[in-house]
Amino acid sequence: MIVDGKPYLILGAQINNSSSWASTLPQVWPALEDIHANTLEAPVYWEQMEPKQGSFDFANVDLLVNGAREHHLHLVLLWFGTWKNGQAHYVPEWVKTEPQKYPREVSAYGKILDVLSPNSGANLEADRSAFVALMRHLKAIDGAQHTVIMMQVENESGSIGAVRDYSAAANQQFEGEVPSSLTEALHTPKGTWSKVFGADADERFAAYSTTSYINQVAAAGKAEYALPMYCNVWVTYPVHALENRDHASPGQEYPSGGAQQDNINLWKAAAPAIDILAPDFYSSDHAFYHQIIATYDRPDNPLFIPETLLSKDFGSNFFYALGHGAIGFSPFGIDYTHWTLADDKIPAHLSENFALFRPMASEVAQLNFDGKLQTAVEQAGETRQRLHFEGVDAIVSFGFPQRDGEQPRGTADLSGRAMVAQLGTMEFLVTGFDASVSFELATAPGAKLRNEQIEILRAEEGQYVKGAWQSSRIWNGDQTDRGLNFHRGNTSVVRIRLHSLPLYDESMRLRPQQN
Ligand code: DGJ
């Protein structure tokens, strides 16, 4: 992610759904400051923005842009258009009340759903022209200043209530052939949807209908103002182990047709105007989190977590995503409207992470982009991890106290986490929580003996100020003797220079033993 020519790490905060209003924004800004975010993710409501067809009210958008500037934040705007969590709650009244003109999805049993049909040209045209108007307005007010850095097109798209639209018009499309552009991209034989996709035909048809629609909305918006665009995803969560089935039900347990794990290839093929498919993550299952990161971190898909829980795992999950090259990470529900945050307070486990990274967000983004950055995150039963860099290994041990001769004890809540980035052959930028970090020369594969050792030349605590490193003190003694020690509540960043020297004085080692 490059903003104004410089790498940018999104330390995001998404506000509650009904918070992009003049009456609630005063409760937004202090929360964003307290969590040390550099980017606000805020919704734009189609119903508010186009109360009458063709007549636009950008008051809320302008408040967001002006407020973000005043508070030194960038903005990611979330287009709550045709889809919001698999339903059509944010479409304007003139759309809601005219289902003949703006057709709804119909279930297999004929029920009219609270979802606009993605198989309708009229729906597409209405959404697209509103989004185009929004992008035109943003270009006019912000094209020179770049407060808004990215757009989310729709919100958790797909349909709740049916696996696909069963209206007569959609059925007719479903009976036809899968477009050859899609079969070619997915390397499948040609044929009807049922023939090509078998049991998954309905969901794949829904995905193709949804993604083609959104692609056209995004492409038309980009033609006005070419900001990066992404779609956030309601992922498919594991079904309970005791239930005798292996997959959640599309259209019931998640919106059918969204870019959930099994639909990524299809979405990538059919929505070139969407730059990122970004998983929302609302679970405390660590193994599942790692799976989701592995699934969405692809050469054709930058990793971005646009929404996540405020749980205790926040810090570890942030470090984990960063270690997999994430361009950004954002908790959901950050404002003081008495909604998501208990007592309208930002807990320390949320704010400490961004507080540490905000001053060096650009440097961290660059190091990550260059492949120089790694993270270690404590896992159950694994209190020590080794990170391999060019020539040097970093050994990260979790939990304190750390006693000589004992294995590190880990932490009770698995809060240990560290970031190590290689600045030069023997120079590293290091930080973390509940962790110590020490260095060893990397042992060549197959080598039996190590002939060199490593020493600290200098370990400076400090911070980056406008791109320049400023040292505040030198760490030594207890702060460095058993590794660089980053305790709970840490706010330190350390730049360490090492050097190597031979392990033995060869003349002594070879001296014949004396009686
Ligand atoms: C995911 C949605 O994208 C958000 O808008 C919000 O509804 C959250 N879920 C609520 O938990």
Ligand 1 centroid to Cα of residue 82, in Å, is 15
Share of the chain above pLDDT 70, in %: 97
DSSP 8-state secondary structure symbol assigned to residue 4:
T
Residues 347, 474: one domain?
Answer: no
Q: How confident is the model at residue 513 (pLDDT cuts 50, 70, 90)?
A: low
Helix 314-323 to helix 348-357 angle, to the nearest 10 degrees? 30
Q: Which atom of ligand 1 is nearest to the CA of 17?
A: 5
β-bridge mates for residue 88, sequence order: none
Q: What is the CATH number of the domain that holds 499?
A: 2.60.220.20
Residue 57 token pair: 């009210």
Residues 469, 363: one domain?
Answer: no
Q: Is a pLDDT exceeding 80 seen at residue 512?
A: no
Q: Which of 156, 124, 263 is nearest to 206 (CA)?
A: 263
pLDDT in tens, 136-189: 999 999 999 999 999 999 999 999 999 999 999 999 999 999 999 999 999 999
Q: Which atom of ligand 1 is nearest to the CA of 78?
A: 5
Q: Is a pLDDT exceeding 60 seen at residue 515?
A: no
| Mutation pick for ligand 1 pocket among 154, 332, 339 (CB with most ligand atoms within 8 Å) | 332
CA distance 21 to 27: 10
β-bridge mates for residue 155, sequence order: 84
pLDDT of 75 reads 98
CA distance 200 to 209: 14
| Mutation pick for ligand 1 pocket among 17, 154, 277, 283 (CB with most ligand atoms within 8 Å) | 17
pLDDT of 241 reads 64
Mean pLDDT of 71-83: 98
Binding site membership of 19 for ligand 1 (Cβ less than 6 Å):
no
| Mutation pick for ligand 1 pocket among 280, 281, 309 (CB with most ligand atoms within 8 Å) | 280
pLDDT in tens, 434-481: 999 999 998 767 666 677 899 999 999 999 999 999 999 999 999 999
Q: Which of 433, 388, 442, 436 is nearest to 408 (CA)?
A: 436
Ligand 1 centroid to Cα of residue 442, in Å, is 45
pLDDT in tens, 194-228: 999 999 999 999 999 999 999 999 999 999 999 99
Binding site membership of 379 for ligand 1 (Cβ less than 6 Å):
no
β-bridge mates for residue 308, sequence order: 281
Residues 420, 324: one domain?
Answer: no
Could you tell me whether strands 148-155 and 229-234 are parallel, antiparallel, or unpaired per DSSP bridges?
parallel
pLDDT of 247 reads 87
Mean pLDDT of 234-261: 90
Residues 455, 501: one domain?
Answer: yes
Residues 257, 150: one domain?
Answer: yes
Would you say 193 and 205 are in contact if contact means Cβ atoms under 8 Å apart?
A: yes
Residues 6+ apart with CB under 8 A from 8: 1, 2, 74, 149, 327, 361, 362, 365
Going by alpha carbons, the residue nearest to atom 10 of ligand 1 is 332
pLDDT of 119 reads 97
Which three-class secondary structure state does DSSP give residue 233?
strand
Domain total in the chain: 2
| Mutation pick for ligand 1 pocket among 18, 85, 157 (CB with most ligand atoms within 8 Å) | 85
Burial of 148 (0-12, 13-18, 19+ CB in 10 A): buried
Whether 515 is covered by a domain: the verdict is: no
pLDDT of 213 reads 98
Residues 306, 414: one domain?
Answer: no
Would you say 330 and 317 are in contact if contact means Cβ atoms under 8 Å apart?
A: no
Which residue range forms the structural domain that includes residue 487?
A: 375-507
Q: Is a pLDDT exceeding 70 seen at residue 116?
A: yes
pLDDT of 300 reads 97
Rg (CA), the chain: 26
Whether 174 is covered by a domain: the verdict is: yes
Which three-class secondary structure state does DSSP give residue 379?
strand
Residues 199, 343: one domain?
Answer: yes
pLDDT of 489 reads 87
CA distance 80 to 42: 10
pLDDT of 509 reads 65
Q: Is a pLDDT exceeding 90 seen at residue 287?
A: yes
Would you say 414 and 382 are in contact if contact means Cβ atoms under 8 Å apart?
A: no
pLDDT in tens, 495-505: 999 999 988 87
CA distance 127 to 213: 9
pLDDT of 449 reads 67
Place of tokens 């031979």: 502
pLDDT of 423 reads 98
Ligand 1 centroid to Cα of residue 85, in Å, is 7
Whether 241 is covered by a domain: the verdict is: yes
Residues 41, 177: one domain?
Answer: yes
pLDDT of 443 reads 73
Q: Is a pLDDT exceeding 90 seen at residue 130?
A: yes
Q: Work out the angle at residue 388's Cα, subtended by the Cα atoms of residues 386 and 390, and round it to the nearest 5 degrees.
A: 155
Whether 358 is covered by a domain: the verdict is: yes
Would you say 491 and 352 are in contact if contact means Cβ atoms under 8 Å apart?
A: yes
370, 396, 413: which is the final residue of a domain? 370
Binding site membership of 332 for ligand 1 (Cβ less than 6 Å):
yes
pLDDT in tens, 360-405: 999 999 999 999 999 999 999 999 999 999 999 999 999 999 998 8
Binding site membership of 85 for ligand 1 (Cβ less than 6 Å):
yes
What does pLDDT average to over the chain?
A: 95
Residue 7 token pair: 């790498």
